[in-house]
Amino acid sequence: MLQDVKGRRVLVRADLNVPLDGDVITDDGRIRASLPTIKALQEQGAKVIVCAHLGRPKGEPNPKYSLAPVARRLRELLGGQVAFASDTVGPEAEAVVDELHDGQVALLENLRYNPGEESKDEAVRQAFARELAGLAELYVGDGFGAVHRKHASVYDVPKLLPHTMGGLVKAEVEVLKKLTESPERPYVVVLGGAKVSDKLGVIANLLTKVDRLLIGGGMAYTFLKAQGHEVGRSLLQEDQLDQVRGFLNEAVKRGVELVLPVDVLAATHFAEDAEYEVVAADAIPADREGLDIGPRTRELFASKLSDARTVFWNGPMGVFEFEAFAGGTRAVAEALIRSEAYTVVGGGDSAAAVRKLGLPEDGFSHISTGGGASLEYLEGKTLPGLAALED
């Protein structure tokens, strides 16, 4: 953390990109994860200016993506006043910042309301960064969920101000180093979620590092199809079949145990109340779609996790938002909780599932706040936001 911040304006780039139902926050995990850094700066007497994005408003104000509900929740969690500026770098932001006293907190409106935040034009992006940096004297990068983006608030602002990593980003980087540099073995990775294409790079890289790779969720059906099995109307990426066959061959070549579902819940259609039956993974009826891994697969995956010393899990095993199809995701999560391994939940839908299913967050060694950032780090990519903070 920065030293001598008393009385100084500190811009904190947080990750407050929470899910909303109207203006109701349905999961405040990312807000709570940002609190330690904000509180530490408050206690040191800084004037704390928090900035963040929410959703994809595409460079213009949209009430649907306002951070106003986040400001309300921050007030509740901090137990005190949090000023809210209804713009990012305009007159109100300047006025709100000018009125801050030592130890007080302000939140700026959604950074992505300004086209400069995400602009591919460096001049446009840097112009916005200069205005944002002009509000503060120091910068703390604490939005891990955004460090894989080359955005103004993440990449350009730290080049303009004395800067440091916030506690959340430091903790995330330490965890990812454990996973990539010297993991205790057996090292098992569980991947789920909808699309293989979202995880091509990370699968390719993990095949050089892990002992065992368990594949569930919607992406499993592309693997099953690549083995020549009927997958009915299940989620399928036909254009990825050759790539997946390559992964299957590479796993054999490297001695990596690649484990696929052996049974699934095959539903008549995609709905919470859809009729379904348990069928073998190589015998999915042509008129049905797999919405979760089946009971034998749950047992199989749990057994493949039982001797692990390091586990990384990213992506649900089924449509966990529907109670009938949440059992696979719950089974994997509970196997991790029982495990004596170092267990990391890789952000995004996996973290949301843990909270939605009412599972104890302290049952895991670490729950990441950044799904995409975690995956790109594990893929071996340079993350622009981290590179800027390390300069």
Q: What is the 3-state secondary structure (H, E, C) of the chain?
A: CCCCCCCCEEEEECCCCCCEECCEECCCHHHHHHHHHHHHHHHCCCEEEEECCCCCCCCCCCHHHCCHHHHHHHHHHHCCCEEEECCCCCHHHHHHHHCCCCCCEEEECCHHHCCCCCCCCHHHHHHHHHHHHCCCCEEEECCHHHCCCCCHHHHHHHHCCCEEECHHHHHHHHHHHHHHHCCCCCEEEEECCCCCHHHHHHHHHHCCCCCEEEECCCCHHHHHHHCCCCCCCCCCCHHHHHHHHHHHHHHHHHCCEEECCCEEEEECCCCCCCCEEEEECCCCCCCCEEEEECHHHHHHHHHHHCCCCEEEEECCCCCCCCHHHCHHHHHHHHHHHHCCCEEEECCHHHHHHHHHCCCCHHHCCEECCCHHHHHHHHCCCCCHHHHHHHC
16 annotated ligand binder: yes
17 annotated ligand binder: yes
Catalytic residues: 30, 195, 348, 372
386 annotated ligand binder: no
pLDDT of residue 1: 57
34 annotated ligand binder: no
Query: pLDDT tens, position by position, for the chain (391 residues)?
Result: 567 899 999 999 999 999 999 999 998 989 999 999 999 999 999 999 999 999 999 999 999 999 999 999 999 999 988 999 999 999 999 999 999 999 999 999 999 999 999 999 999 999 999 999 999 999 999 999 999 999 999 999 999 999 999 999 999 999 999 999 989 999 999 999 888 888 888 999 999 999 999 999 999 999 999 999 999 999 999 999 999 999 999 999 999 999 999 999 999 999 999 999 999 999 999 999 999 999 999 999 999 999 999 999 999 999 999 999 999 999 999 999 999 999 999 867 888 889 889 999 899 999 988 878 888 998 888 999 999 999 8
pLDDT of residue 319: 95
Taken in order of first residue, the domains within the chain and their CATH numbers are 9-170 (3.40.50.1260), 183-379 (3.40.50.1260)
